[in-house]
Structure 1
Amino acid sequence: MESATLTRPRSGPQARSGLAARLPARGRRLVPALGLAGLVVAVVVGFFVYPTYPNYDSVYSLVWGRELLDGTNLSFEAYRAPTQHPLAILFGAALVPLGEGADRVMIAFTWLSFVVLTMGMYRLAARAFTPTIGLITAALLCTRFDFPFLAARGYLDIPFLAMIVWAACLEQERPRRGTPVFALLALAAMLRPEAWLIIGLYFLWCAWPADWGTRVRYAVWTASGPVIWALTDLIVTGDPMYSLTHTSGLAEELGRASGIGAVPSATVEFLTRLDKAPVAIAGLAGFALAAYLVPRRVVMPTALFLVGLGTFAAVGLAGLSVIQRYLLVPSLMVMVFAAVALGGWTLLQAGRARTAWAVASVLVVLGGTFYTATRVNLKVFDNELTFRSEYRTGLEDVLRSPAVQAGLKCGVVSVPNHKLIADVRWILDLPADKVVARTDTVPDKETGKGGDGLRRAEQGGVAIYAANRSVLIRQVLTDGMDAPAQTSILPGYTYAASSDAYGAYVRC
């Protein structure tokens, strides 16, 4: 009689591949290849149907890249400028020679990075468990809409995650692999400081059995990210710790949650928001099942999950903004374990338990698909992506109108708050002191600089205002800053140009 219990699978290729072991080699390759082809088609169509533009941080990377090529000092200390990321600046500099199309090329790159990330998630889960679990993991990633949205807006998180996941894939396939893994982690460490802890732990793992020459080489890889980051800050601002102190200060100024006390509740909230509650619950169940059935195979996903939580706690301890983007790595691993909950039957030998699990998984997937299809409002996604396209083209139309171009000679360009500064500077190729925010009325506590944005705007130039409700809500009235300074027409300014998104006034 067949057993109906969750029997641990046999060792060897058959147990590892599950259902896929019964398929011809061509079939095992065909299904992932078709899935990849479908994803590529969807990305290409989305890129052209919704021509979005980079987010605030990424546009600043283009602006700083242009300053780097021009040989001018990088404007890290501009009003509410984001934290600099050395690799992003170098990438921005490489795109600058493309001219006006550089920002769209950046979006294309982040979409490509999303495809590479999806391939990495498949490979990580397929090698740790089975190809079926790998396919489910990739599907979960593509349907957690926060992640494609990050790609559509050019967030550097997507290439960062791709580097981390592929480094994990390489290490999983050959433990203590060394240089290729260090190279990917070092690049990631120049994009986000969370990678500093990951590469530091990897150094300890690899250095323990290595000779001294190898240890020194690995130490150079490990130190490269934070050293380059600190040197960049030192050269530009004179303070090697500027990114750390600036980020924590900006978190306080913008009223974001920070500090270690915010970490526990934020961890639960953000993981649930990123993965959605059913996937988060399935992730817990999948981890328990995998730990029982194949305890050795959970090592890599579990290590990444724990390191991700550790970096999130370190971010809070350092006083930085506690935001959900710092939990992206753990959220990816939750998807892997959720895929185990759905596809873990492929780990079992043939029998009643395997059949029952497979049937239950199919029913859960069908139920989840029906639930999502009847409750998700696709119009919301369409509106968001359309806005990302139309606001930028509307801004370009206004800024390039003859009346506004003439008004540029009369003073600064003022915008409601910091959110449009990077876009205006990139479109018009203006230095930091020529674009001001009308909410910039208080000097920086540390440096005493700034605080004269409204005063300079009142003296003349071009003033940009929101012309519709969507822009007003998304880009102007966002964090309780001085509403009159953002929305009231300054004295002496007269109408110059407008689009569906923005209006421009000039005083000469």
Structure 2
Amino acid sequence: MSGDGSPEGRTSRAPSPARSRFSRRVELAATLLAVGAAVLVWALTRTYPNYDSYYHLVWGRELLNGSLPSFEAYAAPTQHPLYIVLAALLGLVFGEGGDRALVLVCFLAHAALVLGTYRLGAAVFGRWSGALAALFVAASASFLLYAARGYVDPPFLALVVWAGVLAAEDRRGVPVLLVLAGLLRPEAWVLTGLWWLWKRRPRDLPIVFVAPALWCLTDLIVTGNPLHSIQATSALAEDLGRVRGIQHVPGSFVTFIGSTVRPPVALLAPIGAYLAWRLLGWRRLLVPGALLAGGIITFVGTGILGLSILPRYLTVPAVAMCLFAGYALVGFTEAEGRVRALWLRVSAGATVVGAIGMVILAPSLTNVTEEMRFIRSTHDSLVTLLDDPAVREGMACGTLTFPTYRLVPDAKWHLEDARIGARSALRRDRGVEVYALSQKALRRYGFADGTKPTVNLPNPAFERVASAGILTAYRRC
């Protein structure tokens, strides 16, 4: 056994033309199934974007109206240039239905992520390892929830993984996908740098700086500060009391990875990485290794820069760990002789760990369905309340306010020209004040890090004029 790519007990066999045709048909069927499932889940669940994504929809509409995006609004999230362009296009085509269209794009991107994980795993470790890795990604409650809430992560991850597919299959197009990904999340900047170090072509060096330059140019045009995104994100994290700092990186890494891909997958991943290094050689691991290293480098960087330390910042290494975990469990299908026999027996025992993992996963999937139901309830309550004539009359007298910033972009998307704010920033003496009724709604929308609980106490000068679902409104003119 050696680490040079030609180990004892493993041979490289070229697939026959008939087998290749069969594989292509299976992949085509899997693609159609994944796309159909994504559309079906989107239609049945009827979920809506999260806070950040609603702001991108608002910013996209502002661009369409000929104005600069309001990046400097109270508690505004970090802007992602390509996502603003996407949001603007969806708003142009679908109008207010652009929010649901954005969620559909994310579900389709999630399907592309799953399919890309299979292709990447198949290219590096073999078809069965790729299929299991794709199953791990598809079964992740976190990845599914990111799609259901219209996060920027599913399109970003799909671009990154398919760039990995092209790199592993030695095909063109890798820098194009990485630049696009770099306009969605900065993690791709590190991956683009690693790609250049791999190729070492001086003429390609400018590609490394395209996405960061366009990001800074966007900030410069809109705010006059090319570093607005990083400075505003760091300041917001401090204002909201978010977990930040390099000292929190190690513990958060373990916690976040375990919650994203589940503990059994996280435990199998280092085993798979070691086996792959020993049996396949380090050169075969360049692409999944780059995904793992690039994600870790970026996560550590967020701690150094004082940004919020969030689970979403570990999605790239989480996908890489799914790839290694898939190889750890079924990599024996690509081995021969005694290695295959021993590996098969060990994998059979490890399957028990996988079964336990599925038991652990079940409550997570239940939590996802409950979260989707809550999202629908919130959206329906908000739209019904804002369309109430008494609320509209009150808005003519002053500003529409919510306890915190959490529902502000949702309302801005539904009411394009209204004055909307958060009482955690400034309390008004005229207009409409919206409050949460249920305990979960109160926890979600009534409280936020860095805000005072008094924003949930109705002003005695206001009268209650309307209620809808989990929300109620008070008015004073």
Mean CA deviation greater in 299-308 or 326-335: 299-308
Unaligned runs of 5+ in 1: 1-5, 441-452
1:227 equivalent in structure 2: 213
Which amino acid in the other structure matches residue 166 of structure 1? Answer: W
Which amino acid in the other structure matches residue 439 of structure 2? Answer: R
- Aligned pairs for 1:75-474 within 5 A: 75-97=70-92, 98-174=94-170, 177=172, 180-206=173-199, 208-209=200-201, 215=203, 218-295=204-281, 296-349=283-336, 351-362=337-348, 364-365=350-351, 368-369=354-355, 372-373=358-359, 376-377=362-363, 378-430=365-417, 434-440=419-425, 453-454=426-427, 457=428, 459-474=429-444
Contact between 2:103 and 2:150, CA under 8 Å: does it hold in 1? yes
Contact between 1:8 and 1:348, CA under 8 Å: does it hold in 2? no
TM-score relative to the length of structure 2: 0.93
| Displacement of 1:135 | 0.5
What SS does the corresponding residue of 1:410 show, helix, strand or coil? coil
RMSD of equivalent CA atoms: 2.2
**Compared with structure 1, are the counterparts of its residues 28 and 201 closer, same or farther at alpha carbon in structure 2 (3 Å cutoff)?**
closer
Q: Distance in 1 between matches of 2:170 and 2:312?
A: 29
1:444 equivalent in structure 2: none
Which amino acid in the other structure matches residue 69 of structure 2? Answer: L
Contact between 1:9 and 1:347, CA under 8 Å: does it hold in 2? no
Mean CA deviation greater in 494-503 or 364-373: 364-373
| Displacement of 1:502 | 0.7
| Displacement of 1:371 | 5.8
- Deviation per residue, 1:65-105 (Å, 9 max, x gap): 11111122321111100011111111111111221211000
1:483 equivalent in structure 2: 453
Mean CA deviation greater in 352-361 or 128-137: 352-361
- Deviation per residue, 1:288-343 (Å, 9 max, x gap): 11111111322211122112111111222122111111111111101100001111
Which amino acid in the other structure matches residue 464 of structure 2? Answer: Y
Q: Distance in 2 between matches of 1:429 and 1:219?
A: 43
TM-score relative to the length of structure 1: 0.87
| Displacement of 1:38 | 3.8
| Displacement of 1:363 | 5.2
- Aligned pairs for 1:492-503 within 5 A: 492-503=461-472
Contact between 1:467 and 1:499, CA under 8 Å: does it hold in 2? no
| Displacement of 1:49 | 1.6
Which amino acid in the other structure matches residue 285 of structure 1? Answer: I
Q: Distance in 2 between matches of 1:71 and 1:40?
A: 35
1:71 equivalent in structure 2: 66
Q: Distance in 1 between matches of 2:424 and 2:289?
A: 45
- Deviation per residue, 1:377-432 (Å, 9 max, x gap): 3543321111111211110000011111111110001001010110011110136x
Q: Distance in 1 between matches of 2:353 and 2:85?
A: 46
Which amino acid in the other structure matches residue 381 of structure 2? Answer: G
- Deviation per residue, 1:124-177 (Å, 9 max, x gap): 1100111111100110101111101100100001111111111111112117x4
Which amino acid in the other structure matches residue 466 of structure 1? Answer: A
Q: Distance in 1 between matches of 2:43 and 2:154?
A: 19
| Displacement of 1:365 | 3.4
| Displacement of 1:25 | 3.7
- Deviation per residue, 1:38-82 (Å, 9 max, x gap): 433432221122100011111101100111111223211111000
Q: Distance in 2 between matches of 1:470 and 1:263?
A: 29
Mean CA deviation greater in 116-125 or 219-228: 219-228
| Displacement of 1:7 | 6.3
Count of aligned pairs = 469
State the identity %. Answer: 39
**Compared with structure 1, are the counterparts of its residues 269 and 375 closer, same or farther at alpha carbon in structure 2 (3 Å cutoff)?**
closer
**Compared with structure 1, are the counterparts of its residues 46 and 472 closer, same or farther at alpha carbon in structure 2 (3 Å cutoff)?**
same
Mean CA deviation greater in 354-363 or 112-121: 354-363
Q: Distance in 1 between matches of 2:89 and 2:188?
A: 23
